[in-house]
């Protein structure tokens, strides 16, 4: 059993005395910790005695009363302030509040070093430290057994929580989603509060973040893993956790997070490589079918979704977020557009939620069979172009729009011949690059400088080429309607298998 505050005061060489809260002398002292941090409670555990030279004690009565409330809420055993140091006068309101809450406020004589009090507590609690060491060993034994039997993931987290008499959850603080599927419903409101609190702190974890949630108390600790992860421990409101054991649980959780992350990233990489080979027609259809089904995707009901890669962190974490949302998919990242293979309308809603409401999406017709992947990718790309041009969040290939969207490759080839036919013939006869130059010029929003740099030609060379384009197509690059026709024809050329901007 740990030493009590009253027993610590009675130790002869400690010489502490009560300012207030003697009725709380029965509180157990698990450790005596010296700190002058203004937010010291975020680094202390329940049962800790806070020793201070007074610099973190507020000067005015109102804030002193708030301060003692924070100490009590954190479960500390008491506050000990050094005599003749830097403490402001302890107000009567502060002492009365401590007396009412039976929270010990102690005075440490100037000649008594803080370390002497820490040693007294450590010596008195040596048996308790042995018990804590045994419990720590039991936690690591649970992890060892989990590795041996394959009972990892949620099962391991459940076992650790059972050992600590709490419920443990792992939160990816980047995606704001649970790292592992939980056996019970995830309290989303709690996760949102955790993320909001960390945002206030610029993503920097305190020693422990305490949050009340319904009839439970949440203790949030950083998991030392590659991905920003928090261990959330839910205790009954009147429980007093051992934060030292929770930190050991966080270390064990870090190993599990790294294992899960490596497994998921490997699966994502294999899926991306498989789709890349499919798009290049370099994968045998039977093998591709098995690979897709291994990702729980049936080609008969699958579609390809295209969207532009974004510069923000959210796009970089998309793969993790889709897996954490338990979405069956294959994601392939490209320099110009990203492609996701998925099945059904519900996964589409999940993808939309992960990307955000404003990101345009283009959907292909049904994939039906693996060898149709290149055509489906072009369909998705065409639909994406239409969604962007029309400023719509979603366009499905083949649906009616105010823009021409070819329903078949034959229609695409007809559109190409009608608009770009003279350019294609000229390029073939004279070994020029008018079509490619036009594509780059339009992709760069008719910027002469950027397009010329990308094509590695002088600006005047590009001006000459665009002049020839206008002559041969009988369309003006200063006329919006003509530009739209040229752009859609270039998209149709890509859909039909051409690559005007490569």
Sheet holding 216-223, edge to edge: 177-178, 167-172, 229-236, 216-223, 209-213
268 in any annotated domain: no
370 in any annotated domain: yes
For the beta carbon of residue 379, count every other beta carbon within 10 angstroms: 29
Number of domains the chain is built from? 4
Q: How confident is the model at residue 148 (pLDDT cuts 50, 70, 90)?
A: confident
Q: Where residue 204 sits, what CATH number does that domain have?
A: 3.30.450.40
Determine contact, residues 233/221, Cβ cutoff 8 Å: yes
| Distance in angstroms (rounded) separating the CA atoms of residues 289 and 291 | 5
Both 291 and 256 in one domain: the answer is: no
DSSP 8-state code for residue 336: S
Both 443 and 377 in one domain: the answer is: no
pLDDT number for residue 502: 55
Three-class DSSP labels, 217-237: EEEEEEECCCCCEEEEEEEEC
Both 294 and 392 in one domain: the answer is: yes
Q: How confident is the model at residue 77 (pLDDT cuts 50, 70, 90)?
A: very high
pTM above 0.85, yes or no: no
pLDDT number for residue 1: 66
Both 11 and 33 in one domain: the answer is: yes
Both 139 and 250 in one domain: the answer is: yes
Give tens-digit pLDDT for 197-231.
Answer: 888 888 888 888 988 888 888 999 999 999 999 99
Distance from CA of residue 161 to its chain's centroid? 23
What average pLDDT does this structure show over 310-329? 78
311 in any annotated domain: yes
Q: How confident is the model at residue 45 (pLDDT cuts 50, 70, 90)?
A: confident
Give tens-digit pLDDT for 423-477.
Answer: 999 999 999 999 999 999 998 999 999 999 999 999 999 999 999 999 999 999 9
| Distance in angstroms (rounded) separating the CA atoms of residues 16 and 229 | 41
Give tens-digit pLDDT for 365-379.
Answer: 899 999 999 889 888
Domain that holds residue 289: 280-396
Single out the residue in 260, 290, 323 at which a domain terminates.
260
483 in any annotated domain: yes
Q: What is the rounded average pLDDT for all residues in the chain?
A: 87
pLDDT number for residue 404: 54
pLDDT number for residue 277: 92
Both 345 and 434 in one domain: the answer is: no
DSSP for 244-286 reads HHHHHHHHHHHHHHHHHHHHHHHHHHHHHHHHHHHHTT-S-HH
| 106-110, 121-125, 452-456: least confidently modelled range | 121-125
119 in any annotated domain: yes
| Distance in angstroms (rounded) separating the CA atoms of residues 340 and 293 | 15
pLDDT number for residue 145: 87
274 in any annotated domain: no
* Helix (H) / strand (E) containing 26: none
Single out the residue in 225, 260, 295 at which a domain terminates.
260
pLDDT number for residue 213: 82
Whole-number Cα distances in Å, 239 to 21, 47, 130, 312: 22, 12, 21, 41
pLDDT number for residue 140: 87
Give tens-digit pLDDT for 224-249.
Answer: 999 999 999 999 877 778 888 999 99
Both 385 and 426 in one domain: the answer is: no
Q: Where residue 284 sits, what CATH number does that domain have?
A: 3.30.70.270
489 in any annotated domain: yes
Determine contact, residues 174/313, Cβ cutoff 8 Å: yes
| Distance in angstroms (rounded) separating the CA atoms of residues 253 and 229 | 9
Q: How confident is the model at residue 114 (pLDDT cuts 50, 70, 90)?
A: very high
Both 49 and 9 in one domain: the answer is: yes
Q: Where residue 421 sits, what CATH number does that domain have?
A: 1.10.10.2840
């Amino acid at each position: 059993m740990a030493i009590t505050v009253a027993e610590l005061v009675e130790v002869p060489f400690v010489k502490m005395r009560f300012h207030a809260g003697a009725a709380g002398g029965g509180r157990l002292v698990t450790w005596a910790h010296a700190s002058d941090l203004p937010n010291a409670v975020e680094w202390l555990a329940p049962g800790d005695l806070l020793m201070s030279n007074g610099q973190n004690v507020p000067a005015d009565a109102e804030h002193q009363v708030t301060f003692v409330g924070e100490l009590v809420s954190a479960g500390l055993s008491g506050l000990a302030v050094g005599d003749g140091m830097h403490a402001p006068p302890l107000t009567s309101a502060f002492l009365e509040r401590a007396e009412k809450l039976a929270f010990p406020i102690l005075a440490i004589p100037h000649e008594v070093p803080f370390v002497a009090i820490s040693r007294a507590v450590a010596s008195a609690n040596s048996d308790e430290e042995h018990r804590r060491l045994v419990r720590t060993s039991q936690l690591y034994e649970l992890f060892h057994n989990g590795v041996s039997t394959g009972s990892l993931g949620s099962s391991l987290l459940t076992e650790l929580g059972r050992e600590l008499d709490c419920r443990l959850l792992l939160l990816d603080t980047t995606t704001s989603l649970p790292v592992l599927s939980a056996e019970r419903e995830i309290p989303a409101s709690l996760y949102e509060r955790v993320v909001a609190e960390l945002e206030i702190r610029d993503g920097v974890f305190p020693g422990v973040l305490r949050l009340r949630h319904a009839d439970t108390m949440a203790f949030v600790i950083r998991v030392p893993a590659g991905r920003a992860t928090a261990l959330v421990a839910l205790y009954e409101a009147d429980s007093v956790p051992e934060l030292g054991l929770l930190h050991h649980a966080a270390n064990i959780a870090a190993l599990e997070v790294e294992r899960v992350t490596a497994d998921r990233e490997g699966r994502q990489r294999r899926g991306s490589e498989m789709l890349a080979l499919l798009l290049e027609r370099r994968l045998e259809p039977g093998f591709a079918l098995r690979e897709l089904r291994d990702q729980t995707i049936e080609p008969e009901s699958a579609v390809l979704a295209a969207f532009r890669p974004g510069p923000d962190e959210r796009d970089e974490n998309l793969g993790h977020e889709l897996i954490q949302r338990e979405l069956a998919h294959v994601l392939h990242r490209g320099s110009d557009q990203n492609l996701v293979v998925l099945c059904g309308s519900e996964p589409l809603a999940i993808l939309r939620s992960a990307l955000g409401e404003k990101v345009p999406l283009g959907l292909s017709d049904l994939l039906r069979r693996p060898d149709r992947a290149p055509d489906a990718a072009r369909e998705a790309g065409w639909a994406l172009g239409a969604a962007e041009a029309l400023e719509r969040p979603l366009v499905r290939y083949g649906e009616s729009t105010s823009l021409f969207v070819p329903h078949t490759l034959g229609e695409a080839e007809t559109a190409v011949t009608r608009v770009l036919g003279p350019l294609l013939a000229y390029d073939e006869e004279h070994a020029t690059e008018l079509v490619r130059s036009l594509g780059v010029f339009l992709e760069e929003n008719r910027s002469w400088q950027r397009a010329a740099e990308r094509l590695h030609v002088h600006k005047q060379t590009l001006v000459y080429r665009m002049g020839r384009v206008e002559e041969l197509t009988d369309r003006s690059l200063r006329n919006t309607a003509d530009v739209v026709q040229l752009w859609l024809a270039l998209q149709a050329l890509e859909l039909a298998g051409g690559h005007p901007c490569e």
